[in-house]
Amino acid sequence: MNSDIESRLQEIMKIVMDLPQGTDVKEIRRINDKRWDSLAHSSLIAAVENEFQMQFEIQEIELCGSYASTLAIINEKIS
């Protein structure tokens, strides 16, 4: 995997989720983190689409429920 993509996604997630310093974004999941509400999810998708110059399909948006799943979709779209 591309470490540049990973670091860019991590930074986006830290900003969008307003995560405290030292939080491991790789452990954040939509299902178990109250900060990841519908507004944060929409903001995350918009920020990722803008940063990576891509557009997600509805099914992909629904699958972006963790750092890992979002990273996998980005990598799939880029390759």
Q: How many CB atoms lie within 10 A of CB 29?
A: 13
Tell me what pLDDT residue 1 has.
Answer: 53
Q: Is residue 19 classed exposed, middle or buried when 0-12, 13-18 and 19+ CB atoms within 10 A define those classes?
A: middle
Hey, where are the domains in the chain?
Answer: 3-78
pLDDT digits (tens, 9 = 90+) for 7-35: 999 999 999 999 988 899 999 999 989 99
Tell me if the pTM is above 0.85.
yes
Q: Which 8-state DSSP code applies to residue 30? A: G
Q: How many CB atoms lie within 10 A of CB 57?
A: 10
User: Which CATH architecture group holds 3-78?
Assistant: Orthogonal Bundle (1.10)
Cα–Cα dist 34/17, whole Å: 10
Tell me what pLDDT residue 79 has.
Answer: 87
Q: What is the mean pLDDT of residues 25-54?
A: 95
How far, in whole angstroms, is CA 8 from its chain's centroid?
10
